[in-house]
Structures are given as C-alpha cells and as structure tokens.
Structure 1
Amino acid sequence: MKKINKYVAFSLILCFGTFILFQGDVSSEEVNIVGSTSIQPVCEDLVEEYRKNHSKSEISVQGGGSNMAIKCVNAGIADIGMCSKQLNKNYDFTEYELGREGIVVAVHPSNNISDLTTEEIKGIFDGNVTNWNQLGGENKPINVFVREEGSGTLDAFKTTVMNKTSILNEAIVLNSQGSIKQSIEQDTSSIGIVSFSYLDENIKAVSVDGTYPSEESIADGSYMIQRPFLLLIKEDSTNETQNFINWLNSSQAKEVLDENRIIRGV
C-alpha cells in the first residue's frame, strides 16, 4: 500500500508540474497535450503539419506516460491526453483512436528462430524457458529486455500474451524502446518487445502463432499483439481542441500517420 500511495503522490506531483509548465502567456487558442511517449512523436508531427494552416494555434505536446494522460485529462489540467493502452474503466472524456500499433517480439538477426507460439513467448518472459535450445535454437541463455512498469508497450504485451503471469525478475528493464532495439542489435542471445515502427533490418521480428507482424495483419487483427493509440478529450473541450480533432480526419493527417506507420483498422 505504501508503494501505491507513493506512486499516486508522485504522479500527481508530475501532473501538476506539467500544468505549471503549460502556464505562462496562455491564450484562448492554446491546446495542451500530455501523455504517452510512444504517441508523442506522432502527435508532434501532426501538430507541426496542422500549424501550417493554423498559424495562430498554440499547441504544446509533452510526454509523461499513458497514466499521466488519464490523470491530467481527468483533472482538467490537459486538453488532450495521449494514451497507448486500452482503458479498463469509464471516464468522463471522449476517446479518439488515431490508429493501432503492433508490438513486435524481436530477436537478433542471426537467431535461427523465426516463429514462436504465444505459450513459448510467455514461457520466455516468465522465466520457464531460459535457453534458446529449448525452442530448437542454439545453446545460448536467453536475455530478456522489457520496458518499465506503466509503459503502454509493456501493458499491451502483458494483456495479450502474459495473461496475468509476471515477467521474470531477471529481465533487463530499459526506459525507452530505442534502448531495447539497440540492446537487441548488440546481443545475439536477446529477445525484447518494441513497436512495429521500430522494426528494420537491424532486428528480426518473429511470427507469433504463425502470423508475421505487418501492416495488413495488424489492421485486420490477425496479428494479436497490438494496442490502440488513443487521444483522450475532455467533454467540455475548447473550440481549438475540437478543430484539431476534426482535422485528424483530413488527408494531411493521414499522410503523417502513414509516415509514422500508425495503422488504421479495416
């Protein structure tokens, strides 16, 4: 209970700290966006494009995490919250889905493992499978890389794969997807989870239950490890907030989302 209280207190301090950062020369056109660091780069690109034809609009984008988005919008401190996980309770705000993002189970390119079942992945991440030779690979210990608790990436993975089973204590916890990708690139025994947008020739995605992560398999839902990219909006949102949300349905916004590999459902 002490840990929970400390976490809540710390979150509120960060939330109100964000509020202070947003203050200053505030105009009626200002929109404050806060939340998921996974969505933050996408939102920054969207805002940059939006302001090309809305030069008077002042839109601030800051990180802080999905939980921070929920707290700040719920408290009326932020106009829009960026949330990269499915909400598990009802709040007094509207959800706008930017799209969906696949969560890739990635290994080093030299790894001869190309397909894993959900149960095998779960076994790796809960510590029951500790060597690649248990899965038909080389005789090497498996080094597991994950994000920190509260990460939308980790939450999506735990919800779809782990089924309430805990991640092994020996997993190496890193605070960014870039750090996980770099670790996988450098460690031939590694496995980790990163967003689909991070996938390139330097890391290797494995198929999950026979389905490879692709734009098509994420869009049609056949690739199961994915999460929504949500914007949370206050019920009594400002006109400029609504203008920005409405603009997200434009062709210009779609181009930005495509460039960031954010996938719309079919």
Structure 2
Amino acid sequence: MKSTLLLGSVICLSALSSCSDSSSKQNENASAELKVFADQSGKLDIAGGTAHIPVMKAAAKEIMQFNPQIKITIAGGGSGVGAQQVAEGLVQIGNTGRPLKESEASRGLISHAFAVDGVAIILNPTNPVASLTQQQVIDIYSGKITNWEQLGGVENPISLYTRDEASGTRAVFFKKLLKQTPIAKSANVVPSNGAMKTSIANDPAAIGYSSIGFIDDSVSAPQLDGVTPSNEACLSGEYPITRKLFMNTQGEPSGITADFIQFIFSPSGAAFIEKSGYIAINAPE
C-alpha cells in the first residue's frame, strides 16, 4: 500500500495485516492531540498567507505521518488569495495575515486567530546601518531618501523591495509603519516572505520587510526608533508593528478541518508556532 503525501511518502511493503498492526502501535504511542485523527481519511486544502506556511507544514507533517489516509496540501499566494479561495470553496482553510475585510467576512467567513507576528525592516547583513526611525522608513519607501549615504551608510543607491497588494504582511507594513504613505513605483515586488528574505540577502543595497519569524542570519533587522524587533518586544507592546495570523473557514469548520484547527491550538501546535518564530494565541473559549 502506498500513500503519496505533500511532505513526503510513506510506503508500506508488508501485508495489509502487518500495516494495520503497525498503525495500531503508532496510534497507541501517539499524543492525545493526534488521536482525534485516527480512523479518519480525506483531504484538507490550505492556501493564503505565506507567513503561516512553516506552522501549517509542521502540523500537516505530524498528522500525515500519524495517519497516511489524510492528505493535506499547503499553498501560499498571500492573504487576499487565502480569503478568496476559502470563500469560493476551493480550499477549506484560507490563511490571512490581517483581519478579514468587510467584503470578505460578508461571504460567510469565520476567523481563527492563532499567533501574533511582528513585521520588521530587513537589510542585507553587509549594510552598516543599524537603526532607522519610522520617518526615515517612510521617506525611503516614498522615494524621498534614495541613497544609503543619507542614513550614515556607504554611498549606494537604495534598492526598494515590497510585497504585492494581496499580501497581509504588506497591509500591516503599509498601515502601521508607513502610515499609508504611497510606496514608490520603483520598488521591486516579491511574492512571499521567503522570496523577500532571499532578495535582500542577495542585494547589498536592499531594504525590505518581513515577518519577524522569517528573520535569520541571512539578513539583518535594524532597530526601529531604538527598539529591536523581537517576539519579546512585540508581546510587551514596545515594538508596535504587529499583527495576528488567522486561519479562516467558510462557516463553522467540521471534520478534519475542525480537528486541524484544534491541533494548531494544542500544545503541539503552540510548539510549532513558537519554533516558527511567532507567539501562540490560546484557543477562544
């Protein structure tokens, strides 16, 4: 018996009875959080915000390894895509890195907030600029400041990077950090947090922004108004450019969809959230 999974393949070459015995032993040793998926089968499709992907992948891998009869697919596309696809019934969970718009919520969508994330400016690690003010960031993205020399760096024209308008990361950045100041049309548009990080890491003159959970040694995150962007600063309120990450469903979820959402709110889900660089939110009572 062979089951092909999004995150790997599980191949059982023994007799059917041996597979059943192995599955039973696995179920016995599984955490109570996973046992709800025992004896279930079916498909769960998830799409939308790219900040969510590390958490969704970790949870999906755990569930599918426990029960190969469940297949979970995960795609990005941005918050707008997530809301649109779940509203149209193309996926069961549509992820957004922002609250639903009124036009989206009116289509019967229900939000399930599961994490808090910060959005931070990122630079190439060779850039000596270690701190920026909010006004400086506004002036950079509006095109008023065009060279790193104006900010205490080396003489080098600034390369602007931004996200497309379907991005929840962009929505928070645009509203809370840029105060809705229009972004210069010369900015390079990238499709995801991962693509943003790669672009900045490969361009010494670059400036961009991403979820704090995506920041690693390949980029640097300068202080903003004297505050280092971190989960601790987001949690305390010292760092203000924050947002919630949402899973959205068409009406109240049921079946595997409901169980998956509850798994995200479980201790195992919280561990995946924290490992991905975010702050877990407790399930609503």
TM > 0.5 between the two?
yes
Is 2:128 aligned against 1:112?
yes
Distance in structure 2 (CA, Å) of the matches to 1:153 and 1:230:
12
Is 2:203 aligned against 1:190?
no
Distance in structure 2 (CA, Å) of the matches to 1:265 and 1:120:
32
Deviation at 1:42, TM superposition (A): 2.2
* From 249, 259, 266, the counterpart of 1:233: 249
Deviation at 1:28, TM superposition (A): 7.0
Q: Which amino acid aligns with 1:182?
A: T
Is 2:80 aligned against 1:67?
yes
Is 2:190 aligned against 1:174?
yes
Say if 1:49 and 1:252, in contact at 8 Å, map to a contact too: no
Q: Which amino acid aligns with 1:214?
A: S
Deviation at 1:265, TM superposition (A): 5.9
Distance in structure 2 (CA, Å) of the matches to 1:186 and 1:93:
39
Distance in structure 1 (CA, Å) of the matches to 2:61 and 2:81:
23
User: Residue in 2 aligned with 1:37?
Assistant: 50
User: Residue in 2 aligned with 1:5?
Assistant: none
5+ residue gaps, structure 1? 1-26
Say if 1:219 and 1:265, in contact at 8 Å, map to a contact too: no
> Tell me, what secondary structure is at the counterpart of 1:51?
helix
Deviation at 1:174, TM superposition (A): 2.4
Deviation at 1:99, TM superposition (A): 0.5
Q: Which amino acid aligns with 1:64?
A: G
Distance in structure 2 (CA, Å) of the matches to 1:202 and 1:68:
28
Is 2:180 aligned against 1:164?
yes
Deviation at 1:181, TM superposition (A): 2.4
Deviation readout 1:76-115 (Å, 9 max, x if unpaired): 3322111122223244232111202222211222323211
Deviation readout 1:219-253 (Å, 9 max, x if unpaired): 23321223321100222432222122222222211
Say if 2:142 and 2:181, in contact at 8 Å, map to a contact too: yes
* From 75, 81, 84, the counterpart of 2:94: 81
Q: Which amino acid aligns with 2:78?
A: G
Give the structure with higher Rg (CA). 2
User: Residue in 1 aligned with 2:279?
Assistant: 263
Change (3 A) 1:75 1:198: closer
* From 121, 137, 148, the counterpart of 1:121: 137
CA RMSD of aligned residues (A): 2.3
Distance in structure 2 (CA, Å) of the matches to 1:126 and 1:167:
5
Deviation at 1:56, TM superposition (A): 3.8
Change (3 A) 1:177 1:69: closer
Change (3 A) 1:252 1:130: same
* From 135, 151, 160, the counterpart of 1:135: 151
Is 2:62 aligned against 1:49?
yes
User: Residue in 1 aligned with 2:30?
Assistant: none
Distance in structure 2 (CA, Å) of the matches to 1:39 and 1:88:
19
User: Residue in 2 aligned with 1:24?
Assistant: none
Distance in structure 2 (CA, Å) of the matches to 1:142 and 1:130:
5
Say if 1:219 and 1:264, in contact at 8 Å, map to a contact too: no
> Tell me, what secondary structure is at the counterpart of 1:181?
helix
User: Residue in 1 aligned with 2:234?
Assistant: 218
Is 2:267 aligned against 1:254?
no
> Tell me, what secondary structure is at the counterpart of 1:205?
coil
Say if 2:83 and 2:100, in contact at 8 Å, map to a contact too: no
Distance in structure 1 (CA, Å) of the matches to 2:203 and 2:69:
48
Deviation at 1:54, TM superposition (A): 4.4
5+ residue gaps, structure 2? 1-39
Change (3 A) 1:249 1:48: same
Say if 2:114 and 2:265, in contact at 8 Å, map to a contact too: no
> Tell me, what secondary structure is at the counterpart of 1:140?
coil
Percent identity of equivalent pairs: 28
Distance in structure 1 (CA, Å) of the matches to 2:199 and 2:41:
45
Q: Which amino acid aligns with 1:78?
A: V
> Tell me, what secondary structure is at the counterpart of 2:280?
coil
